Amino acid sequence: MARMPQLLQGKRAFVTGGGRGIGAAVVERLARDGAHVAFTYVSQPDRANTTAAAARKLGVQALALQADSADAAAVVSAVGGAAAEWGGLDIVVCNAGILVMAPVDAYRLEDFDRMVAINLRAVFVATQAAVKHMGTGGRVITIGSCNAERMPFQGGSVYAMTKAALVGLVKGLARDLGPRGITVNNIEPGPIDTDMNPASGAFADNLRALMALPRYGAAQEVAGLVSYLAGPEAGFITGASLLIDGGFTA
């Protein structure tokens, strides 16, 4: 059987929150498509090292870098380390995110601040740091949420706010970076089977009832869309927010 062409052969990618879930699937897919991949993780170094080892088995270089996305200096340092290792970057995927749900009258301000720091500020920080090392053809991809478009249950207002803000940020960044030949796009997953939101979890049946396709998505399906946006066929897509949600917002 002929081997599929590696459309990202030799590209240099940086992924935040790549140690597990969607992030780990993105790391593996980019590696399978030929890119060298550096990624951040906060905890569980054994799991992060396993992800890096799996990428290396695909014939690319991989770096697991411990950095909390709430710490702007740590994010900048990790981006700089990856760029120094490879002499630049071609792709940045801002995937790190958290979810804290609570009714508005019980929401803790410290949880609000951490959600904004990780889900929104870290995206800007990582992008700002990465584009200093990018040339024409660079790709910035953010992982948002379908909850930017629809929040059908109580307690998710702050999460929805952070993901909706990404839509505007991406449009603005696309304008800023378009003259440099760098595209910026946002992916909005629906319910995806991960540690954060397992297909067997307490909310799973309720979420499936809201979808056109009554199943959870796989992290690998999101990773496939990331790879497409990172590749040569997506060079005319920028400023877009693309749903991959099984019809959650249909």
Asked whether the beta carbons of 239 and 174 are under 8 A apart, the reply is yes
Contacts of 48 (CB under 8 A, 6+ apart): 18, 19, 20, 39, 41, 64, 66
Check 41, 159, 216, 228 and give the catalytic one. 159
Query: Tokens 């040339």 belong to which residue?
Result: 135
Secondary structure element (H or E) that encloses residue 65, with its range? strand 62-66
- Tokens 């952070």 belong to 162
Tell me the C-alpha to C-alpha distance, in Å, between residue 22 and each of 15, 134, 191, 196, 226: 11, 24, 11, 10, 10
Residue closest to 93 by CA, chosen among 27, 19, 44: 27
Establish whether 159 is a catalytic residue: yes
Cα–Cα dist 145/147, whole Å: 5
Q: Kindly report the number of other CB atoms within 10 A of residue 163's CB atom.
A: 27
Greatest distance between any 2 Cα atoms in the chain: 59
Q: Which residues are catalytic?
A: 159
